[in-house]
Chains A and B, each alone.
Chain A
Amino acid sequence: MWGPVLRSGVEADPKRNRTGQLLRRAIRAVWRGGQRNAAGDDCGTILEQVAADLASLNHATEKDFLAIGGKLAEFLAAARQISADMAALGELISGSTGCHASQVLTRVLERLRETQARAETGDRTLGSACDSARQIGRTFSGFRDTVSIFRVLGSLTRIETARLGHAGAEFGHLAEEVNALTQSIETSGQGIVDDSAILHGSMRSALTKVTDLRAGELKELPSLIAEVMTSLASLENRRRRASEASLRQAAEYAEASAAIGDLITAIQFHDITRQQVEHVVEALRGLRAEFREGVRKRVHLPRDARAVLTLQSSQLSSAEQVFARSAAAIQRDLDSIAGRVRNMAEAGQTLLGFSAEERDSFFLQMEGRFTAILRVVGTCATAEAETRSVLAELEQTVARMQQSVAEVRHIGIRIHRIAINAAIRAVPIGDSGNALNLIAEVMQRLALDSASITGEVAAALEAIADAAGRLSSRSAWTVANAHSDADTSVSEMRAAILELHSSSEASFGRLNQITALSSRLGDEIQSVRAGFSAGALFAETAGRVRRALEQIGGQFGPAPRRDLEAPAERRLEDFALHYTMQAEREVHASVTAGAAPGQPVPVGTSTVVPDEQDFGDNVELF
């Protein structure tokens, strides 16, 4: 991708070959002893081509460096993004979010253990209440026979009363009363039987639900939560190991960022070289104008042309040296950064101590467990709601049954009284009242049996009511505001698990981002490095141009002896030898190194080119 960009411009420019041809033609003309003015004309054309070559070089390197700088800025942003991602990942798995995760799971576990305990108690309580309900049904199943016997006894009473005639007149209303009470007791008794069937059915259903819950989701729950806790602990252990590695990684990414920043500064330093080349182009075009003018007026070529060419050649030589060092440093830096980022990308792949496949599988398992916990929470919430509903229904049924039982007991007492009364009244009748006396005795016995049955049922109902009460009082969700408490609790558990899931998916995303960006960054830097050929391009073009300038300068004979030269020409030679934009670099170096203003480094006092790393980035200062 970079190769074609960097090789564009001069190398691809057909004018370059044209320059060579013109140069060769001019040299041949001069060596053949051709007209000086004609040679000057050709030299002007060559100078123009050389200037165009240099301008084109400047344009190409400018474009390439801008592109490379832009790419480096992207790398810098990516390296910073990776550092930020690592910090965010550290926070997700170990910071307050990570600590919060295990607390949340512990809380959810406690809540679900409470649910499990409630389910166990409910299981036992409902089982016992269910037995009681079944017992009530069984107890009352024989009550129909008792009622029939009461009815028979009432009929016998009526028959016997009729047989006794006047003597039994007082028993007539007793028979009616027993009949009416029998009717009532039958109705109430039937109600108890029906209610006991309802009670038994609903309790069986609730019991089945609770048993299923315990046998199903609740049974899985402890191991499920244990698995999640183990995963979190494993993640925590890995994190501890990864923590140091990620700290080192973050530091290395910071160093890589700094190195990229330095590289961008070094590239900006190219501005000075570019300006230097621009000056050369300007000077050569000026000289070419003078050549043309000389040709037009048929006068001698400029006297100081040779000095000017030497000066520009020297400028180019200086620029070439600086550029070569700079380009070599850029290549070294790119190599170093690419190597470092590649190593970091490899380390990033296994940041948590497992491979990419293991990591994907780990996060997938975590997510599956979150889903399973949410399913259990949902099932528990449904089961709790159903239990609440059964308890409410059970309390209503028990209350209704208790009322029926009380009625039956009350009727039994009344029948018992009637029977005692009948027995007492039968005594004065003598032997004729024996039958009535017998009926009264049977009635008393039945009333006592009935009292016993209702007593048992009342005790069973009391036990059921007590069990329901205990179940209600144990369940925090069935006290006042039960529904809203239960909903809040379930919502809290759901919210906690969803929060953990969010944290988990963010960690997954961060790891993917770190891995992808690191890997891509390494590849792209490597690609930039592979395509970086600006140094070779500059050296090749500058060297060729310098050779052309020296050959043109050679047309004007050997360099004059210094002691015979005119002062102005000598000054120009000195200037050519000593003045380059090196002076600017030195001043720049002194400024960036903190030299006092107003104490510039004297021009020409040093020919040592400072390392480009010493320069700041404010090259526009010049």
Chain B
Amino acid sequence: MTVFSENRPAAPVYRWEPDYAVGVEEIDREHQWLFALAEGMHQAMLAGKGRDALQALLTELVDYTGSHFSHEEGLMERSGYPDLRVHRRQHEDLRARVREMQDRASSGEVTMTIEVMQFFIAWLKQHTSTSDRPIGEHLKATGQLPCRG
């Protein structure tokens, strides 16, 4: 019985955990992708190559959060989610902050990877484990949870 191989790669530091599940498959998948983005940035920073990955990360964040937020907001609108306004404002705040960071990076400020990463991780954990969870609960409670598959 061979139970292990010593050459296993280390587990990622930033990974989506089942505890973060909102219950809406598509949203959860999008959150997983955001964690994968964070892990990619973390790996680049470990290698001291965070600056090379910074622009790509911010561009991806702007694009992806754009579609992810639209998706979330659409779901909230259709389901009559009571805290839609508050949630939308949180999305707007993030969009504005990411755009501001993107502008700074575009104007040549490259030594901001730690700031971006700290902000991104704090937001991501808060967004997935606190902000979005009530959406899933609301959809479940109102019987509007999209069918899987």
A-to-B contact residues, CB < 8 Å: 62, 65-66, 68-70, 72-74, 76-78, 81, 264, 267-268, 270-271, 274, 360, 363-364, 366-368, 370-371, 374, 378, 497-498, 501-506, 508-510, 512-513, 516-517, 520, 619-620
Contacts and interface: CB of A to CB of B under 8 A. Distances in A.
A367 B42 CA distance: 16
B13 A73 contact: no
Interface of B: 1, 3-6, 8-11, 13-14, 42, 45-51, 108-115, 117-118
Given A62-B1, A72-B4, A267-B3, A371 B112 contact: yes
B109 A371 contact: yes
B112 to A, nearest CB: 7
A364 B1 contact: no
Q: Which residue, of A68, A74, A505, A506, has the highest number of chain B Cβ atoms within 10 A?
A: A505
Contacts of B112: 367, 371
Given A498-B111, A501-B111, A77 B42 contact: no
Contacts of B109: 371, 374
Contacts of A498: 51, 110-111
Given A505-B45, A516-B13, A517-B11, A370 B4 contact: no
A509 B46 contact: yes
A370 B118 contact: no
Given A77-B6, A81-B10, A498-B110, 9 more contacts: A70-B4, A77-B9, A77-B11, A368-B115, A371-B111, A502-B49, A508-B117, A516-B13, A620-B1
Given A503-B48, A509-B42, A513-B13, A370 B6 contact: no
Contact of A517 (B1, B10, B47): B10
Nearest to A373: B111
A517 B46 CA distance: 14
Contacts of B45: 505-506, 508-509
Main secondary structure of the interface of A (DSSP, over half): helix
25 contacts: A65-B3, A69-B1, A69-B3, A72-B4, A73-B4, A73-B5, A76-B6, A78-B11, A268-B1, A268-B3, A270-B1, A363-B118, A367-B111, A368-B115, A497-B111, A504-B114, A505-B50, A505-B113, A506-B46, A506-B47, A509-B42, A509-B50, A512-B13, A513-B42, A516-B13
Q: Give 7 nearest A-B pairs by CB, closest first.
A: A69-B3, A73-B4, A502-B48, A81-B10, A509-B45, A509-B46, A77-B8
A505 B118 CA distance: 11
Contacts of A267: 3
Contacts of A504: 114
Contacts of A271: 1
Contacts of B49: 502
Given A498-B51, A502-B51, A66 B3 contact: yes
A513 B46 CA distance: 9
Contacts of A76: 4, 6
A547 B113 CA distance: 67
A517 B111 CA distance: 26
B4 A78 contact: no
Contacts of B113: 367, 501, 505
Nearest to B50: A505
Contacts of A513: 13, 42, 46
Given A270-B1, A506-B47, A363 B11 contact: no
A571 B148 CA distance: 66
Nearest to A73: B4
B114 A364 contact: yes
B10 A77 contact: yes
Nearest to A516: B13
A362 to B, nearest CB: 10
Q: Which residue, of B13, B14, B49, B51, has the highest number of chain A Cβ atoms within 10 A?
A: B13
B7 to A, nearest CB: 8
Contacts of A508: 45, 114, 117
Contacts of B117: 505, 508
Nearest to A62: B1
